[in-house]
């Protein structure tokens, strides 16, 4: 049997998060010798998705971690009510650690198509985006209002007065041409300031309309810049209807991004890469042109290049997340509201900054975002749903998330608050944000905390690919492959 | 290869650059196609009628659904053998079916497409002989067998039922055959024509409840095609034809006006910019109100609702011509009551003036936020002139000032039609004759 140590590997990739996995996919036809390892015994890294058993194991490991080997996760805890709640067996669930939704026009999807990896992923529709409206004097219970983002939505909604509708239409039209010279002049002065100011000054939008627009950006601090905000809303608007009527974003079935990472790794394996889970790097030594790695498995390997997560990264304040399995299908969230639209499997709810109060009576200044997943995602059994709540980490975050869960249930159906069958809370720190090439070591930035898939995540992958390919890069199209043999296509009609 | 048969809405034609390899692949495809075509032609020339030729037509039509001669070959195969032989008593029916020109040899022009689609139907219409069913329906059979033995008659019934089952299976499978072709080429006349022919066979050969179910599924298909391309006019015309059949006594139907009206509402909700949906809606309204037995106050209420709806739509889409078209339909209903069907026959002149005046006011509000949309100015112009006509008076000073202002705007926004705007200025007495050539 060949020993791992016999080869001079072209690249060793450490970690199977999305970026490393996409790198493996991009190299899957290159003929390069690739050893792909992960210290975890599961794929996906920070983008992983767990069965309940795996989630419990993971949470324990986070709690048990000492300050020395503390990574980007902390304060993980699991709550399960006692008795027979209707919780099914552990493998019936897939909890995504870092759920994200992907705009139809995202570059990730076009790369998955051109690399043919899309054939192994099933994409589900992300339907309505809602705003949470707290109890007011005139309404006894909280409610959810759908955010209109197409002309037809604006026409149909009763939540916005006539004149405000015209203002909203003007803004939507503006965004569609926002990178033209004329529009650029209008927003350049506001480019690095908050989008909210731009909306107020240039479009005379009142606070309510501003929250509608901001909610479409899923901005974690609510302070997204005009430049980034316009770009995100532009992508949302132009993604509408691309894959079918009524939706602008998709979610991969069976755990979201983790599924994409697994499919990418599988493609890497088909292309000849060797995979080893539960294997990390114990020691590293530069020797001439190559790097010598002593792995935790006991093997010693030599490689030309190493790709990994940045070990020098400082971990700062990130996000707090609460994943709750509830015993109700929450049907009203997953209706197809447009003729011919598929039934959505994911709904997005925004609690705007200031709409929630801490127990000490202060208004909570950060937005909270909730993803509701139906059983169509494959993440829970029929009759149940998963609510993923996210907010920036603050001292009040944990309590606020619990409150949001309760209020969300009330807003959906105040008369039938579903039972919470399982809850997992954790904090995900913010690590490095940029890639850091370092000679023959390429350091990927930390996993993105963004709730909307951020295309800029793809750039470091391309950079790493270029470095691995070296001169061969010039003649090759990045992430563009023909189908492997045996795949069906139109040509069969001619036989 | 099957073409889209004209561009699908919103998709640009792309010119392709071919590599040498792609060119070879295409030459290969062409050679295979030609070979297939030769096989079909020679088989037909030999007078073949077997399943081999049928399979060949399937292959060829998948590659080129526009090859209408081959559709005719297929039809003849069906009527001359694959579909059940009619009993001797109904042979005149068979003769009429094969003799009538099913596919027109010249492509119907776009304007008359819906009429040509429905024109294929009358050529098959033979009301009494069309009803296949038990032998009791056929008077000739009845006469022939009334004094005969029970056994041959029972056997005849069994044979007819078996024949119907066979026909049903064949016709269903043929309908399914056309589906992927339609999905690829949703505007190919020949596929639609073949489908219609099959559906007519369904009416002629199968029992009423079975036939009705098939036609109802057809309505489902029409909806699906319209969801894929809301402005596929073939699909709208087709839908109207299917609805008309389902409403007809031949399929035991009743009026479907309410459901169809609701359908236009759903289509509009899906996409405001839909001429065909608004047009259908306008055509359905008179019948709808008639069937509802609407009295004058109900009619007024209905008009108010429609005006409210279109006003909301214009509020978000003033640049959309299909919306203005519908608004104009409603206004003309108020302005042209003499000699034209109107939704509100009980309206007095005063009522009409009130409504038109209010509409003009509401449209002016749009100018607050949309000051560069030419269709708004055109509407204001037109409706102000209507108002004058309605009241049988000339425009007053204030109105003339407004008109002049709007025409100035239109000259800026739509300079290509300056000739028209200038002429309107003259007609309304807004400029002196000497300014000709400004």
> Count of alpha carbons within 13 Å of B33, Cβ hemisphere only?
15
What ipTM did this prediction achieve? Answer: 0.76
pLDDT: which is higher, A69 or B169:
B169
Q: Is B262 on the interface with A (CB under 8 A)?
A: no
Q: Which residues in chain B show pLDDT less than 50?
A: 1-8, 88-148, 438
Going from the C-alpha of A234 to that of each of A93, A99, A103, the distances in angstroms are 35, 22, 11
| pLDDT per residue as tens digits for the range A266-281 | 999 999 999 999 999 9
- Contact at CB, A166 and B266, closer than 8 angstroms: no
Q: Is B62 on the interface with A (CB under 8 A)?
A: yes
Q: Strand A368-373 to strand A385-392: parallel, antiparallel, or no bridges (unpaired)?
A: antiparallel
Burial of A170 (0-12, 13-18, 19+ CB in 10 A): middle
Whole-number percent of chain A with pLDDT over 70? 96
The beta-carbon neighbor of B270 closest among A169, A339, A494 is A339
pLDDT band, very low/low/confident/very high, at A137 (cuts 50, 70, 90): confident
The token pair at A282 is 């114990």
Residue (of A364, A377, A441, A448) closest to A407 by Cα position = A364
- pLDDT of B433 reads 54
- Contact at CB, B271 and A152, closer than 8 angstroms: yes
User: Which of A148, A166, A491 to probe the B interface (max B CBs under 10 A)?
Assistant: A166
Cα–Cα distance, B241 to B274 (Å, whole number): 19
DSSP A318-367: EEEEEEEEESS--GGGG---STTPPPPSEEEEEE-TTS-B-TTSPBP-S-
Judged against a pLDDT cut of 90, whether residue A140 lies above it is answered with: no
pLDDT: which is higher, B3 or A222:
A222
- pLDDT of B150 reads 61
pLDDT: which is higher, A24 or A492:
A24
- Contact at CB, A339 and B366, closer than 8 angstroms: no
Taking the model in full, what pTM does it have?
Answer: 0.79
- pLDDT of B144 reads 46
Return the number of CB contacts < 8 Å for A and B. Answer: 50
Structural domain boundaries of chain B? 28-88+109-119+162-202
The answer to whether the CB of B61 falls within 8 A of the CB of B67 is yes
pLDDT band, very low/low/confident/very high, at A66 (cuts 50, 70, 90): confident
Which residues neighbour A471 within 8 Å (Cβ) at sequence distance 6 or greater? none
- Contact at CB, A151 and B272, closer than 8 angstroms: yes
DSSP A98-123: S--BEETT-HHHHHHHHTTGGGG--E
Averaged pLDDT for residues A114-121: 94
Q: Is B309 on the interface with A (CB under 8 A)?
A: no
pLDDT band, very low/low/confident/very high, at A159 (cuts 50, 70, 90): confident
Mean pLDDT value across chain A? 91
- pLDDT of A476 reads 72
User: Cα B129 vs. chain centroid, distance in angstroms?
Assistant: 29
Burial of B423 (0-12, 13-18, 19+ CB in 10 A): exposed
User: Which of B65, B316, B326, B376 to probe the A interface (max A CBs under 10 A)?
Assistant: B316
The answer to whether the CB of A451 falls within 8 A of the CB of A220 is yes
Assign 3-state DSSP to chain A and report helix, strand, coil percentages, each to 5. 35, 25, 40
Cβ-Cβ contacts under 8 Å, A152 against chain B: 269-272
Cα–Cα distance, A88 to A59 (Å, whole number): 19
- pLDDT of B339 reads 64
The beta-carbon neighbor of A156 closest among B62, B228, B269 is B269
Residue of A nearest to B310 (CA): A155
Rounded to the nearest angstrom, the minimum Cα separation between A338 and chain B is: 6
Rounded to the nearest angstrom, the minimum Cα separation between A62 and chain B is: 48
Residue (of A411, A254, A436) closest to A346 by Cα position = A254
- pLDDT of B271 reads 86
Burial of A402 (0-12, 13-18, 19+ CB in 10 A): middle
Rounded to the nearest angstrom, the minimum Cα separation between B30 and chain A is: 10
Cα–Cα distance, A259 to A254 (Å, whole number): 6
Averaged pLDDT for residues A439-459: 93
Cα–Cα distance, B205 to B165 (Å, whole number): 10
- According to DSSP, residue A387 is labeled E
Cα–Cα distance, B325 to B310 (Å, whole number): 10
Cα–Cα distance, A190 to A278 (Å, whole number): 49
| pLDDT per residue as tens digits for the range A386-412 | 999 999 999 999 999 999 999 999 999
Mean pLDDT value across chain B? 80
The answer to whether the CB of B240 falls within 8 A of the CB of B117 is no
User: Which of A169, A494, A495 to probe the B interface (max B CBs under 10 A)?
Assistant: A494
Helix (H), strand (E) at residue A297: none
- pLDDT of A51 reads 96
Tokens 């029409």, residue located: B222
| pLDDT per residue as tens digits for the range A183-198 | 999 999 999 999 999 9
Q: Is B21 on the interface with A (CB under 8 A)?
A: no
Judged against a pLDDT cut of 70, whether residue A37 lies above it is answered with: yes
Q: Where are the alpha helices (DSSP H) in B229-320?
A: 233-247, 257-270, 275-291, 296-316
- pLDDT of A465 reads 95
- pLDDT of A475 reads 65
Cβ-Cβ contacts under 8 Å, B62 against chain A: 493
Query: To 10 degrees, what angle do helices A458-469 and A18-26 make?
Result: 40
Averaged pLDDT for residues A89-110: 96
Going from the C-alpha of A176 to that of each of A230, A265, B180, the distances in angstroms are 9, 37, 35
The beta-carbon neighbor of A338 closest among B270, B272, B315 is B270
- pLDDT of A487 reads 61
The answer to whether the CB of A119 falls within 8 A of the CB of A126 is no
Determine the straight-line distance between the first and last CA of chain A, rounded to whole angstroms.
44
Cα–Cα distance, A16 to A21 (Å, whole number): 5
Cβ-Cβ contacts under 8 Å, A166 against chain B: 315-316, 366, 368-370
Rounded to the nearest angstrom, the minimum Cα separation between A282 and chain B is: 50
pLDDT: which is higher, A250 or B117:
A250
User: Which span out of A65-79, A137-151, A414-428, B147-161 was modeled with the highest average pLDDT?
Assistant: A414-428
Going from the C-alpha of B129 to that of each of B22, B96, B97, B146, the distances in angstroms are 55, 11, 11, 19
- pLDDT of B134 reads 41
Judged against a pLDDT cut of 90, whether residue A348 lies above it is answered with: yes
Angle at CA B128, nearest 5°, toward B123 and B132? Answer: 95
Rg (chain B; Cα; Å): 29
């Amino acid at each position: 049997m060949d020993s791992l140590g016999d080869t001079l590997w072209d690249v060793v990739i450490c970690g199977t998060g999305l970026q490393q996995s996409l790198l493996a996919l991009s190299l899957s036809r290159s003929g390069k010798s690739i050893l792909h390892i992960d210290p975890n015994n599961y794929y996906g890294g920070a983008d992983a998705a767990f069965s309940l058993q795996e989630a419990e194991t993971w949470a324990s490991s986070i709690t048990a971690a000492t300050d020395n080997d503390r990574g980007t996760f902390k304060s993980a805890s699991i709550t399960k009510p006692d008795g027979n709640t209707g919780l099914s067996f552990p493998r019936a669930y897939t909890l995504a650690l870092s759920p994200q939704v992907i705009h139809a026009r995202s570059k990730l999807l076009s790369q998955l198509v051109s690399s043919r990896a899309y054939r192994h992923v099933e994409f589900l529709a992300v339907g309505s985006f809602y705003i949470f409206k707290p109890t007011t004097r005139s309404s006894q219970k909280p409610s959810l209002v759908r955010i209109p983002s197409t002309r037809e939505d604006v026409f149909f909604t009763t939540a916005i007065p006539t004149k405000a509708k015209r203002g909203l239409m003007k803004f939507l039209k503006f965004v569609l041409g926002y990178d033209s010279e004329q529009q650029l002049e209008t927003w350049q002065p506001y480019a690095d300031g908050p989008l909210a100011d731009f909306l107020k000054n240039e479009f005379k939008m009142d606070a309510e309309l501003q929250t509608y627009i901001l909610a479409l950006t899923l901005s974690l601090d609510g302070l997204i810049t005009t430049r980034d905000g316009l770009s995100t809303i532009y992508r949302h608007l132009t993604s509408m209807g691309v894959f079918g009527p009524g939706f602008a974003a998709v979610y991969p079935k069976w755990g979201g991004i983790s599924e994409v990472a697994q499919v990418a790794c599988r493609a890497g394996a088909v292309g000849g890469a060797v995979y080893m889970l539960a294997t990390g790097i114990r020691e590293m030594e530069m020797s001439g042109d190559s790097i010598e790695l002593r792995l935790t498995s006991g093997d010693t390997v030599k490689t030309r290049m190493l790709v990994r997560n940045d070990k020098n990264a400082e971990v700062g304040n990130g996000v707090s997340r609460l994943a709750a399995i509830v015993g109700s299908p929450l049907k009203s969230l997953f209706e197809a509201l447009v003729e011919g639209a598929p039934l959505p499997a994911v709904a997005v709810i925004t609690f705007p900054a200031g709409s929630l109060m801490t127990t000490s009576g202060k208004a909570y200044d950060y937005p909270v975002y909730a993803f509701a997943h139906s059983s169509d995602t494959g993440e829970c059994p029929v009759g149940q749903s998963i609510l993923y709540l996210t907010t920036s980490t603050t001292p009040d975050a944990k309590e606020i998330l619990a409150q949001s869960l309760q209020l969300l249930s009330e807003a959906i159906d105040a008369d039938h608050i579903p039972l919470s069958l399982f809850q997992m809370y954790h904090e995900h720190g913010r690590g490095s944000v940029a890639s850091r090439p370092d000679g023959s070591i390429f350091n990927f930035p930390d996993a993105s905390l963004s709730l909307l898939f951020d295309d800029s995540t793809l750039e470091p992958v391309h950079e790493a690919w270029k470095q691995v390919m070296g001169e061969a890069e010039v003649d090759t199209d990045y992430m563009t492959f023909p189908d492997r043999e045996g795949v069906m296509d139109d040509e069969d009609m001619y036989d | 290869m099957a073409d889209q048969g004209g561009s699908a809405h919103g998709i640009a034609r792309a010119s392709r650059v071919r590599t040498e390899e792609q060119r070879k692949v295409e030459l290969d495809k062409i050679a295979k196609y030609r070979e297939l075509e030769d096989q079909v032609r020679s088989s037909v020339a030999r007078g073949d009628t077997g399943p081999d030729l049928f399979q060949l037509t399937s292959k060829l039509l998948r590659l080129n659904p526009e090859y209408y001669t081959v559709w005719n070959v297929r039809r003849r195969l069906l009527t001359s053998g694959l579909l059940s032989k009619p009993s001797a008593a109904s042979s005149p029916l068979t003769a009429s079916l094969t003799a009538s020109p099913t596919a027109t040899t010249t492509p119907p022009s776009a304007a008359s497409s819906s009429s040509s689609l429905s024109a294929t139907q009358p050529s098959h219409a033979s009301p009494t002989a069309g009803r296949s069913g038990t032998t009791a329906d056929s008077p000739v059979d009845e006469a022939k067998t009334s004094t005969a033995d029970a056994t041959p008659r029972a056997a005849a019934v069994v044979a007819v039922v078996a024949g119907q089952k066979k026909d049903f299976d064949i016709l269903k499978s043929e309908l399914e055959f056309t589906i992927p072709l339609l999905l690829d080429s949703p505007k190919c006349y020949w596929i639609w024509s073949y489908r219609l022919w099959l559906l007519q066979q369904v009416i002629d050969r199968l029992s009423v409840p079975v036939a009705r179910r098939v036609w109802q599924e057809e309505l489902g298909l029409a909806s699906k095609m319209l969801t894929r391309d809301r402005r596929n006019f073939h699909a709208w015309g087709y839908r109207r034809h299917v609805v008309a059949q389902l409403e007809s006594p031949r399929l035991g139907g009743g009026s479907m006006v309410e459901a169809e009206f609701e359908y236009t509402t759903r289509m509009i909700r899906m996409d405001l910019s839909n001429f065909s949906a608004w047009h259908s809606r306008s055509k359905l309204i008179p019948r709808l109100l008639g069937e509802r037995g609407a009295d004058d106050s109900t009619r007024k209420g209905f008009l108010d609702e429609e005006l409210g709806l279109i006003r909301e739509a214009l509020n978000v889409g003033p640049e959309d011509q299909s919306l203005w078209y519908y608004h104009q339909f409603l206004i003309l209903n108020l302005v042209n009551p003499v000699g034209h069907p109107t939704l509100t026959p009980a309206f007095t002149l005063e009522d009409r003036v009130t409504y038109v005046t209010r509409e003009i006011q509401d449209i002016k509000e749009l100018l607050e936020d949309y000051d560069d949309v030419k269709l708004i100015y055109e509407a204001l112009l037109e409706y102000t002139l209507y108002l004058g006509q309605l009241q049988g008076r000339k425009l007053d000073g204030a109105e003339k000032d407004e008109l002049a202002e709007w025409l100035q705007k239109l000259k800026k926004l739509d300079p290509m039609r300056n000739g028209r705007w200038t002429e309107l200025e003259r007609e309304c007495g807004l400029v002196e004759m000497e300014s000709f050539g400004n």
